Amino acid sequence: MTNGRTIGTAALGDGGPEVGVQGLGCMGMSFAYGPADADASRATLERALELGVTLFDTADAYGAGDNERFLAPFFGAHRDEVVVATKFALAIPPDDPARRVIRNDAPYIRQAVEASLKRLDVDVIDLYYMHRRDVNVPIEETVGVMAELVREGKVKQLGLSEVTAGELRAAHGVHPIAAVQSEWSLFSRDIEAKVVPAARELGVTLVPYSPLGRGFLTGSFADADRDLTADDFRRRMPRFTGGNAAANAALLEPLRTVAVAHEASLGQIALAWVHQRAEVHGLPVVPIPGTRRPARVEENTAATRITLAEEELALLDPVAEKVAGPRYADMTFTSAGRE
């Protein structure tokens, strides 16, 4: 496990600050993954920081601002030690609060950044992401507005989530992009074809989200309908229910083999694989596994010290192409053609 050792660092964007090579996804502390214990979440944040985690990931959409509000006291107590990353683009229509619409237009971004600054109770957002791409607004226009926020001192660095390589290149032409945040794990490897090479070429750091396959790769649940609470978002994700879940659970066998060899957990092997993408693809990679439990943040950060051998990578690499079901039930919320 941990021995209190801290993790290494990686650059956030070309010439950007060094951050802990593993970040912390904070979404589940307020949103999507069933009931959370606020005290345990706060203890997780503190433990993560002690272990060298500095990049903390949230979004305005996580619980309609609740997650940003929840994190504000922690950020306030450690402002100089943490890199605060948040996102805009998933707007709540006033007539239907349960729905989300993607908005990348200037008036929306302007009000979103002010609302996030207020909820987070910070003077500046360290890394501000476009969460999803609105195809009705040219990306150059969106990034143009984001660049104004940098010039105005409201935001330090810019990021994009779930973009294609073409969108990344166009955006980078307007203002340097420090990070691309996209799903990347043993179960989701499509970005390796185009997005990752473009990021390497442009000096952009990759921030893999859901590196534990939303927990499925840890073996902590095998069937969302059976194992998770009624309000858990994963019950609506095609990979984790019915026949797909059974087929995908069987794909964890190679992970188990490698985990036994390293006396590690399945999750640690899944994370070690993602961390090793940095070496395989030659760019900085800072995954942001999400957890609300201090013991798990210890376990997850310890995975940065595991190196997988070539034959172990060869065993794990083919898993992704066998996964049953798409990443989301509604793929219109992701960029078509990011692979």
Catalytic residue numbers, as ranges: 62
Q: Closest distance between ligand NAP and the C-beta of residue 197, in Å?
A: 20
Q: What is the DSSP string of 73-132?
A: HHHHHTTTT-EEEEEE-EE--TT-TT--EE--SHHHHHHHHHHHHHHHT-S-EEEEEE-S
Residue 59 or 145 with smaller CB distance to ligand NAP: 59
The secondary element (H helix, E strand) that includes residue 205 is strand 205-209
Cα separation of 131 and 279, whole Å? 27
Residue 299 or 312 with smaller CB distance to ligand NAP: 299
Q: What is the DSSP string of 69-88?
A: HHHHHHHHHTTTT-EEEEEE
Cα separation of 170 and 109, whole Å? 19
Residue 151 or 192 with smaller CB distance to ligand NAP: 192
Residue 131 or 133 with smaller CB distance to ligand NAP: 131
Q: Dihedral sign, CA of 163, 165, 168, 174?
A: negative
Phi and psi (nearest 5°) for 41? -65, -45
Q: What letters, b where the CB count within 10 A reaches 16 and e where it falls short, cover 214-250?
A: bbbbbbebebbeeebeeebbbbebbbbbeebbeebee
Q: Closest distance between ligand NAP and the C-beta of residue 75, in Å?
A: 14
Asked whether 133 and 139 are in contact (CB, 8 A), the reply is: yes
Which residue reads 């969460």 in tokens? Answer: 131
Structure tokens at 78: 């450690």
Q: Closest distance between ligand NAP and the C-beta of residue 210, in Å?
A: 4
Residue 214 or 277 with smaller CB distance to ligand NAP: 214
Amino acid at 54: T
Q: Closest distance between ligand NAP and the C-beta of residue 237, in Å?
A: 10
Structure tokens at 259: 């985990």
Count of CA atoms in the C-beta half-sphere (13 A) of 64:
9
Phi and psi (nearest 5°) for 129? -105, 145
Cα separation of 255 and 258, whole Å? 5
Asked whether 173 and 200 are in contact (CB, 8 A), the reply is: no
Residue 241 or 282 with smaller CB distance to ligand NAP: 241
Q: Return residues touching ligand NAP (CB under 6 A).
A: 25-28, 33, 57, 131, 161-162, 181, 209-215, 218, 220, 267, 288-293, 296, 299-300
Residue 28 or 284 with smaller CB distance to ligand NAP: 28
Q: Closest distance between ligand NAP and the C-beta of residue 321, in Å?
A: 19
